[in-house]
């Protein structure tokens, strides 16, 4: 498996081939990508239909917590 995705000083190929922290970082990276895609989709949907700004600004802030904590957890997993 040749993945040339840099991650915190390691390339994914190095992590997967050596098995150092391979499955922890690899599986958490997959879930983080899913969380990023879904949360960005929700944010763009709220911004496209921004008709209740008092409620939606808090919802967008709440949805932004998902990618922040997801990236934090992957960073701390290594």
How do residues 21-75 score in pLDDT, each as one tens digit? Answer: 677 778 888 999 999 999 999 999 999 999 999 999 999 999 999 999 988 888 8
CB–CB of 74/26 below 8 Å? no
Is residue 64 one of the residues assigned to a domain?
yes
Structure confidence by residue, pLDDT tens digits, 57-69: 999 999 999 999 9
Query: Residue 17 falls within a domain, yes or no?
Result: yes
Residue 1 lies in a domain: no
69: containing domain: 6-77
Q: Are 68 and 33 in contact (CB under 8 A)?
A: no
pLDDT of residue 21: 63
Q: Whole-model pTM?
A: 0.66
Within 13 Å of residue 36, how many CA atoms lie on the same side as its CB? 11
Q: How many domains does the chain have?
A: 1
46 part of a folded domain: yes
Nearest to 13 by CA among 21, 31, 1: 1
């Amino acid at each position: 498996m040749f993945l040339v995705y840099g991650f915190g000083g390691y390339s994914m190929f190095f992590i997967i081939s050596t098995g150092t922290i391979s499955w922890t970082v690899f599986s958490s990276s997959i879930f983080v990508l899913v969380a990023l895609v879904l949360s960005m989709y929700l944010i763009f949907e709220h911004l496209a239909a921004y008709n209740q700004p008092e409620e939606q600004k808090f919802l967008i802030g709440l949805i932004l917590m998902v990618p922040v904590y997801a990236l934090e957890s992957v960073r701390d997993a290594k």
